[in-house]
A = this chain, B = another copy of it.
Amino acid sequence: MPRFSTSVSALRSSAIRELMSLASRPDIISFAGGMPGNELFPVDEVEELFRGLDTKTKQAAFQYGPTPGLPSLLESLGGFLERKGLPVKKNRLMITTGSQQALSIVARAFVDPGDQVLTEYPCFIGAIAAFRSAGAQIVSIPVDEEGLDIAMLRKEAARPDPAKFLYITPYFHNPAGMLYTSERKRELVEALQGRDIPLIEDDAYGDLWFSEEDRERLTPIKALDPEGIDICYMGSFSKILGPGLRLGWLLAPEAIYEKCELIKQSADACSPSFSQVIADAFIRSGKIDGYIATVREEYKHRAASMTNALRKHLPEYVRWNEPKGGFYIWLTLPEGADATEILKRAIEGGAVFVTGSTFDPAGKRNNTMRLSYCNNTPAEIERGIPIIARAIREVCG
């Protein structure tokens, strides 16, 4: 056996890989994936935009670009983020190869093997993988429907040798589906101020809100620009253009940015210029705004189909969130229920979802399930949810 490094020896393949191969079977209705529906991608618009570019720009799409990103995209994306109130000019912006790379880079920047980092429970699996790959010990703090457990955060922040950072996904949480309240964000900031624990704020879904009245709660903490706390804000083109472009971004204070740029240089030199040229044209043409408005409506429609079906079919003892945006509904079963057993029955019936333990850094708590409605038609949702409900009843009574 080759002499692998310590941190990679500890890495194990996630069950999600097998699940995804199941999810691609045509006879299975999948509520497992976190990917947009293929039919929603702006294929024709992008092809037309590319055709209209001048030769010099098309050639640049084939060439290496600067490590932090193509200057034209940094400018147009900077404008896009400034319209969200983000302090782009006071920080440095970097294009990453998906926001997954932003997570990986931030982990490398801060974590020595054995160091602690704080995450939410439940937590985005890509973040768990990135932090663990850097050798981090994950300390998870539960979220409720308003955000992170602040008392527990205060306790962790007060330790003499506190964790290297706190990672949160406050806007249409993956997998918990919820949206932080403004009050909870304020409390979180207070708990971190002056504590030397940078905040990693992941905002991959924030554009996908369903109701105007929730928009105030969507203001990034980074946009509030609180003093005494280093905030690394990250986002992605995956949900507002297409994950296949592999483009995300990191907005970070200068000192952190400098280290992250060196790590990125050694990780893949630069993000794909081809994708960057496309994303830049998509923003500059203004098409991005119309596209976001369209998918927002579509996901709202799909979410409504799913909530209707859940209301109709689920046993009363299952608790779940009414989604305000994003991709996910998080089901909580009675204490002691085993979502893995439910998944087995659901697969037999022809539907899949992701079990809660996948999102538990400790891999244990499993009386929860994530259902995604982003990649299903209302008809599929109406056929699939009864299968899930039946599997739950079979296991939980």
Contacts and interface: CB of A to CB of B under 8 A. Distances in A.
Interface string A43-65: 10011001100011011111111
Given A2-B198, A58-B47, A266-B133, A272 B259 contact: no
Interface stretch (A104-112, A335-343, A348-356, A365-373): A104-112
Interface string A6-21: 1110011110000010
A244 interface: yes
A246 B272 contact: yes
A268 B104 contact: yes
B110 A4 contact: yes
A346 interface: no
Interface residues of A, number: 82
Contact of A259 (B8, B58, B104, B274): B8
Given A4-B110, A275-B274, A263 B11 contact: yes
A273 interface: yes
A379 interface: no
Given A109-B4, A126-B269, A266-B126, A11 B50 contact: no
A126 B183 CA distance: 46
Contact of A272 (B59, B65, B274): B274
A6 to B, nearest CB: 5
Nearest to A39: B59
Interface stretch (A82-90, A93-101, A139-147, A302-310): A93-101
A55 B35 contact: no
Nearest to A277: B244
A164 interface: yes
Contact of A35 (B8, B46, B64, B246): B64
Given A61-B244, A64-B35, A269-B98, A110 B263 contact: no
A134 B4 CA distance: 13
A267 B59 contact: no
A115 B5 CA distance: 9
B60 A51 contact: no
B43 A265 contact: no
Interface in A222-245: 230, 238, 241-245
A271 interface: yes
A132 interface: yes
A38 interface: yes
A273 B244 contact: yes
B100 A269 contact: yes
Given A3-B196, A13-B262, A100-B267, 9 more contacts: A3-B164, A5-B112, A8-B108, A8-B259, A43-B62, A61-B244, A62-B242, A64-B243, A101-B268
5 contacts: A5-B111, A11-B266, A41-B59, A132-B266, A244-B273
Closest 10 CB pairs of A and B: A62-B242, A244-B273, A41-B62, A129-B266, A133-B266, A38-B59, A246-B272, A97-B268, A100-B269, A62-B244
Interface of A: 1-8, 11-14, 20, 35-36, 38-39, 41-43, 46-47, 50-51, 55-56, 58-66, 97-98, 100-101, 104, 108-113, 115, 126, 129-130, 132-134, 164, 196, 198, 230, 238, 241-246, 255-256, 258-259, 262-263, 265-275, 278
